[in-house]
Amino acid sequence: MKSPLAQRMENLEQTIEGITNRLEELNHLLAQPDTYGNGTDIRQLNREYAELKSSLEENSQQWEETAIKLEALEESF
Residue 28 belongs to a domain: no
Domain-embedded: residue 77:
yes
pLDDT at 58: 98
Cα 1 from Cα 76, distance rounded (Å) = 19
Any residues with CB less than 8 A from the CB of 13 and at least 6 apart, and which?
A: 63
Domain extent at residue 71: 45-77
User: Quick check: is 19 in a domain?
Assistant: no
DSSP 11-55: HHHHHHHHHHHHHHHHHHHHH-HHHHHTT--HHHHHHHHHHHHHH
The answer to whether residue 17 sits within a structural domain is no
* pLDDT number for residue 74: 85
Instruction: Judge whether 60 lies within some domain.
Output: yes
The reported pLDDT for the residue numbered 26 is 97
The model carries a pTM of 0.89
Q: pLDDT per residue over 14-38, tens digit each?
A: 999 999 999 999 999 999 999 988 8
Whether residue 73 is contained in a domain is answered as yes
What does the pLDDT look like over 37-69, one tens digit per residue? 888 899 999 999 999 999 999 999 999 999 999
Q: What is the number of domains present in the chain?
A: 1
CB-based contacts of 48: which residues, under 8 Å, 6+ apart? 22, 26
